[in-house]
Amino acid sequence: GLSLESYCRKHEIAVTGDNVPPPMSSFRATGFPAELLREVHLAGFSAPTPIQAQSWPIAMQGRDIVAIAKTGSGKTLGYLIPGFMHLKKKHNNPRLGPTILVLSPTRELATQIQDEANKFGKSSRISCTCLYGGAPKGPQLKDIDRGVDIVVATPGRLNDIMEMRRITLHQVSYLVLDEADRMLDMGFEPQIRKIVKEVPSRRQTLMYTATWPKEVRKIAADLLVDPVQVNIGNADE
């Protein structure tokens, strides 16, 4: 196979951080549970995408990560699968609140993330719900009460539900800011900061973004601790 160096060069993977683990260039190298690998195989995926190959080992070490990669590069499973592994270790009671919180800019994207979580998390018996605006709160509150491992939410609706005191985030230990650049463009920074205040500081934080402007750098510096930065294809360097 390819040497590590040529794998990174070929896929334009650049990393910044101490003792960064090598990318997992094949599914076999991941050590994921067999049922999950079967799911991946059934989906027709032949190899991890570069962002997955490099973010999986970092995320599974429990480290904070900033991943910069363009749309369509497979970022969702880049954070979801390590999230499934994280859940397995926690054994939290979902009725006491979610363990994983994913913030996403739009209803459409949040729904796609939930679909991916349900599809690939089925074998791990993961439960997931989606909170977004422009829809009645009733069913969303019901899902929260029933208990879920993963909440995927737009910042506006999650804030509303927090203000109603209908969700608690004290069990969240894996926080994902997906499409961070878009969330900031849409003006969600105040809501994001309010939400993060309710998440314990003992947590793992993962930020995924397509671009890396100074507003995103600023919020990354405030919310992440000693992150490893992964940049694919010199995306917006």
Q: Which of 8, 25, 30, 49 binds ligand ADP (CB under 6 A)?
A: 49
The alpha carbon of residue 35 and the mean position of all alpha carbons in its chain are separated, in whole angstroms, by 21
76 binds ligand ADP (CB under 6 A): yes
Q: How far apart are CA 118 and CA 127, in angstroms?
A: 7
Is 151 in contact with 100 (CB distance < 8 Å)?
yes
Closest to 122 measured CA to CA, from 204, 178, 38 = 38
Q: Tell me, what DSSP letter sits at residue 20?
A: P
Nearest distance, CB of residue 203 and ligand ADP, angstroms: 22
Q: Which of 17, 22, 33, 74 binds ligand ADP (CB under 6 A)?
A: 74
Q: How far apart are CA 79 and CA 75, in angstroms?
A: 7
Q: Which of 24, 36, 48, 209 binds ligand ADP (CB under 6 A)?
A: 48
- Which strands sit side by side in the sheet containing 65-68, from one edge to the other? 13-16, 228-232, 65-68, 204-209, 174-177, 100-103, 150-153, 128-131
105 binds ligand ADP (CB under 6 A): no
77 binds, among ligand ADP, Mg ion, none (CB under 5 to 8 A by kind): ligand ADP
73 binds ligand ADP (CB under 6 A): yes
> Which segment (71-79, 164-172, 184-192, 219-227) binds Mg ion by CB under 5 A?
71-79
138 binds, among Mg ion, ligand ADP, none (CB under 5 to 8 A by kind): none
Q: How far apart are CA 117 and CA 135, in angstroms?
A: 21
Q: Which of 63, 75, 86, 203 binds Mg ion (CB under 5 A)?
A: 75
Chain residues that interact with ligand ADP, rule: CB under 6 A: 45, 48-49, 52, 69, 71-77
Chain residues that interact with Mg ion, rule: CB under 5 A: 75
